Amino acid sequence: MHTQHKAVKEVELINTLPLSQSYFKGSQNTPLTNKTIGAYFDFIVDKNPSSLAVVVNHQNIRLTYKEFQKEVNQLAMGLLAIGVKPGDRVGIWSPNNIQWCLTQFATAKIGAIMVCINPAYRPNELQYALNSVECSTLITASQFKGSNYIDMLNSLAPELKHCDNGKLSAQALPSLKNVIRIGDEISAGMFSFSDIMNMATSAHELELNAIAANLSADQDINIQFTSGTTGNPKGATLTHKNILNNALFVAESMHFTEQDKLCIPIPLYHCFAMVLGSLLCVAKGAAAIYPSDSFDAKTTLDVIEQEGCTALHGVPTMFISQLELSTFNEYDLRSLRTGVMAGSTCPEQVMRKVQTQMNMHQVLIAYGQTECSPINNITETDSSIERQVTTVGRALAHTEVKIIDELGNIQKIGLPGEVCSKGAGIMRCYWNDEEKTKATIDSDGWLHSGDLGVMDSEGFVSIVGRIKDMIIRGGENVYPREIEEVLYTYPGIQDAAIFGISDEKYGEEVCAWIQPKEDALLDEQAIRAFLKDKLAYFKMPRYIRFVESYPMTVTGKLQKFKMREQMQEALSDKAFS
């Protein structure tokens, strides 16, 4: 805990408290690393060769750091053997597995840029992703949930059926040359992952070492497609320095050491798991524990208990479904201490339950976006419980955060405005898209988030919604988060989503979609009566609908635009009939 107090003291010296305006600068004392990911990985392996590095429960895999390094190097040399060069884009399209973990570090070692592809993508989305960043190599699972990846690839590139491995020339995927299928099975035109793992020669080892000596931490190493809550996904381009330092700073905030074991039930293709899970464990020489190929509440709790995990990451909906499990009280979770909740705003009630019922007294809320590698704000384990559960904390080390008004001026304390950040984690650009890069990062290097936040006089930020989600009803600004927080306190409500729909009289009206807890019988009028005492009249939902689930991105972000469309349609059908 000692280091945390020192850091808090330092930020209180850098920033004159109480603040007079909504600008805060994170700690500058935390060292920044200039190592590449490959060099840093080898340095950690040398320090902890026999420590546990990775456990993949569903594949029955346990590797020490030395064993993990051997496999990573085999894959790195195998990729060199099929012609992958520094700067080439290598896509990975797969759920969580050991091959994903190996790909992350093997591509970093040869300076290839790993492109994370959403496991839920359909053929047209896959085509867009591969072509927009010109992937030359794709590592793919054979199938996942309802998706048969091999069939989808063959439909996009029928040329695979008749080409030699590594010689693809497909009309719909002009840059793609190599397809590597995870596993031992053979598919026409594709290498198997096992083939690649067995290709290395001593010449490739010399090449690997020569490449490592020439890589720089400022080079691009990862492209993450930003969640498609609107429009086509954009390829946020991140460097070794961006993501390795982000992982290190968050590890410091968690007081993480090589003694820790982190349970990672979130998808690796997303920045949260890739940086704050996989890379964060390597940053400290800790163990990364993957319970399953996709989230399952029971399996996650089973694995935490079985492995004695000290930390657990998740998006709020994951924590909710673990807490709601009928057998939850039978688990011994005393080994848990910390973890990060991120991905979407966390209900205060859930946060309090995670701290008490899951024993995660040092759980942190982290906030950011893919473009920040991904975190720019994090809570502090020694701040008041109130600030730990109602804010997203303060600016991360080597990061500045400000809230601006509509004119771009720094907002007064306590007033909502757009959250902007600047510093070590900010992406270099959107791949090959200067226009969108300039629309997001201004000429002074500030990244504009599109999120609405409020900063208090000590620099703690609360997120009140997306700028686009703010509802303007009859000239009054309504922030969905405020109404959602009130609904979370109503017995029998598991989740609540507030959004605006167009209205002739008021411009917009408030609509609530409520997800009841299992076996709960909710009454609309009783909920209205409950809200009446707690909200101003203009914040009262005009429409309330009970639903079983919400449209979401794979990472657990609500797609309110889809709810808006569905609700608008239902209301116009009703009006028409």
Question: CB of 22 within 8 A of CB of 255?
Answer: no
- Beta-carbon contacts of 348 under 8 Å, excluding residues fewer than 6 positions away, are 389, 390, 485, 488
Backbone angles phi, psi at 67, to 5 degrees: -65, -40
Length of the chain: 577
Helix (H) or strand (E) run with residue 353 in it: helix 348-357
Q: What is the pLDDT of residue 3?
A: 45
Q: What is the pLDDT of residue 427?
A: 98
pLDDT tens string, the chain, 577 residues long: the values are: 444 455 556 888 899 999 999 999 999 998 899 999 999 999 999 999 999 999 999 999 999 999 999 999 999 999 999 999 999 999 999 999 999 999 999 999 999 999 999 888 888 889 999 999 999 999 999 999 888 999 999 999 999 999 999 999 999 999 999 999 998 889 999 999 999 999 999 999 999 999 999 999 999 999 999 854 445 789 999 999 999 999 999 999 999 999 999 999 999 999 999 999 999 999 999 999 999 999 999 999 999 999 999 999 998 889 989 999 999 999 999 999 999 998 777 778 889 999 999 999 999 999 999 999 999 999 999 888 889 888 999 999 999 999 999 899 999 999 999 999 999 999 999 999 999 999 999 999 999 999 899 999 999 999 887 787 888 887 777 888 889 989 999 999 999 999 999 887 788 899 999 999 988 999 999 999 999 888 878 899 999 999 999 998 766 778 888 899 899 999 988 766 5
Q: What is the pLDDT of residue 577?
A: 55
CA–CA separation, 418 vs 450, rounded Å?
6
CA–CA separation, 541 vs 500, rounded Å?
9
Question: CB of 133 within 8 A of CB of 235?
Answer: yes
Q: What is the pLDDT of residue 1?
A: 42
* Cβ count within 10 A of residue 136: 19
Domains and CATH numbers, the chain: 2-30+295-466 (3.40.50.12780), 38-223 (3.40.50.980), 471-576 (3.30.300.30)
Q: What is the pLDDT of residue 227?
A: 58
Question: CB of 424 within 8 A of CB of 32?
Answer: yes
Q: Dihedral of CA 387/391/394/397: which sign? A: positive
Question: CB of 564 within 8 A of CB of 128?
Answer: no
